């Protein structure tokens, strides 16, 4: 059946997105990589720009492990041994040894009993929250939580859902107290590091509050944190927001596709919870896992982070992040204070954000502008993401480009 009746409606919507500055448009196509040279980090070739090299400041690969020799070798060796795909979902044809080894490594890395792999971090959130949320559950969510958390809560359909103001733990306390006689279970869910701002949740404070209310709910209070932007990039040893604040949540979600540089997502918690999720989570049961070779590459990346070399990468990442933040402040530019390598430049205007992104691209720097509805109106920003691949020359090049926009 033709779709000509629907086509004009879709075109109209796209036109509305374009007029309001929300149209993402065509994606940049990366065609190659230029190796680091002359004190500069790697550069990237973009389709339509010939051999002009671009500095990438919009990547989640915080430690540059996507290009680490040993990680590449681990995947190459595994793909020859296990093939390029898993073949089926795990409960049908069994699992592969690299998946099991990686799950054990991740559990050990985070000091948990068990871990479980998913195809992506988004799938992990969607696959973990609904099975742990019953029809007698109160769900409390930070207002700046990731889209995956918002959609997972909608899929779960709890009896009560409340959104507390960003990092407002007095409001969290009030909301927990309001439902002790109405709900049997409470689930508090938060990002560890908030991906648009680079600030982080006070997981220690959340756990303290939730322990107070735990006896007042028949099935207790559970704290779930998605620390996809924190794990591997935050803390002295890369263990994320938990390490920074000195507290462990009940259920921790992470990704292999950011600081670890590979692909996939995971959850780590107690053994009974993992056993239950393997039986009940459709995003695990009915979806292929990452490939065995990706699992081997990810395990190698975790080993590298959990080493003296990894701590050196993290120290360099912090130094480059500090240099960039100090450079923004020196220019009188507004940012959100913090230590994470997500460094937002608050522009607070959609048109100016678009113009600045174009200026940076004209100066061979890739950075991403964020406007409503990705961020609230009035909080339009450019999200810079620092990497351990960046050198002082790279940071200074980006700062110089920003300075030249102010005078153009």
Q: Please, what is the Cα angle at 181 between 177 and 183, to 5 degrees?
A: 90
Characterize the bridge pairing of strands 368-370 and 185-191: unpaired
User: How many degrees, rounded to 5, is the angle at CA 285 between CA 279 and CA 289?
Assistant: 130
Q: What is the C-alpha separation between 116 and 106, in angstroms, rounded?
A: 9
- Cβ proximity of 212 and 186 under 8 Å: no
The answer to whether residue 351 is catalytic is no
Name, in order, each residue with C-beta under 8 angstroms of 132's C-beta and a sequence gap of 6 or more.
Answer: 187, 222, 224, 251, 273
Annotated active-site residue in 61, 119, 120, 195: 195
Query: Which of 99, 110, 200, 229 is flagged as catalytic?
Result: 229
* DSSP 3-state percent helix, strand, coil across the chain (nearest 5): 45, 20, 40
Cα–Cα dist 75/84, whole Å: 10
Residues in the chain: 408
**Residue 229 a catalytic site member:** yes
The whole-angstrom separation of Cα 121 and Cα 255 is 5
Sheet holding 381-385, edge to edge: 342-346, 381-385, 368-370
Burial of 236 (0-12, 13-18, 19+ CB in 10 A): exposed
Distance CA 116, CA 65 (A): 22
Selected catalytic residue, list 110, 146, 258, 340: 258
Query: Does the annotation mark 316 as catalytic?
Result: no
Contact 394, 34 (CB under 8 A): no
- Give yes or no for a contact between 88 and 399, defined as CB atoms under 8 angstroms apart: no
Active site residue ranges: 195, 229, 258
């Amino acid at each position: 059946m033709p779709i000509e009746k629907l086509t004009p409606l879709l075109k109209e919507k796209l036109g509305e997105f374009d007029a309001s500055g929300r149209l993402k448009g065509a994606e940049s196509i990366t065609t190659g990589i230029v190796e680091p040279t002359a004190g500069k980090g790697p550069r990237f070739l973009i389709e339509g720009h010939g051999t002009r090299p671009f500095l990438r400041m919009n990547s989640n690969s915080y430690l540059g492990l996507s290009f680490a020799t040993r990680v590449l070798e681990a995947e190459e060796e595994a793909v020859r041994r296990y093939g390029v795909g898993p073949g089926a979902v795990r409960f049908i044809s069994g699992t592969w040894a690299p998946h099991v080894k990686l799950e054990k490594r991740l559990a050990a890395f985070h000091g948990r009993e068990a871990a479980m792999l998913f195809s992506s971090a988004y799938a992990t959130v969607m696959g973990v929250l609904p099975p742990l949320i019953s029809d007698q559950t109160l769900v409390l969510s930070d207002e700046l939580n990731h889209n995956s958390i918002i959609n997972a809560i909608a899929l779960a359909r709890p009896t009560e859902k409340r959104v507390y103001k960003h990092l407002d733990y007095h409001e969290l306390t009030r909301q927990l107290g309001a439902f002790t006689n109405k709900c049997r279970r409470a689930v508090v869910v938060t990002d560890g590091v908030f991906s648009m701002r680079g600030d982080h949740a006070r997981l220690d404070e959340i756990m303290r509050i939730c322990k107070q209310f735990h006896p007042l709910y028949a099935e207790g209070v559970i704290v779930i944190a998605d620390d996809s932007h924190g794990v591997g990039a935050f803390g002295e040893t890369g263990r994320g927001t938990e390490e920074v604040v000195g507290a462990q949540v009940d259920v921790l979600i992470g990704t292999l596709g950011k600081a670890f540089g590979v692909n996939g997502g995971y959850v780590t918690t107690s053994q009974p919870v993992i056993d239950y999720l393997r039986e009940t989570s459709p995003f695990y049961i009915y979806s292929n896992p990452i490939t065995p070779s990706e699992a081997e590459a990810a395990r190698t990346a975790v080993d590298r982070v959990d080493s003296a070399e990894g701590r050196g990468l993290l120290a360099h990442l912090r130094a480059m992040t500090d240099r960039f933040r100090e450079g923004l402040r020196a220019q009188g530019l507004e940012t959100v204070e913090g230590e994470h390598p997500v460094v937002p430049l608050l522009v607070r205007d959609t048109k100016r954000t678009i113009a600045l992104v174009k200026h940076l691209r004209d100066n061979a720097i890739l950075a991403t502008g964020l406007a409503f509805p990705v961020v609230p109106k009035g909080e339009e920003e450019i999200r810079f993401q620092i990497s351990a691949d960046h050198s002082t020359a790279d940071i200074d090049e980006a700062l110089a480009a920003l300075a030249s926009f102010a005078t153009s």
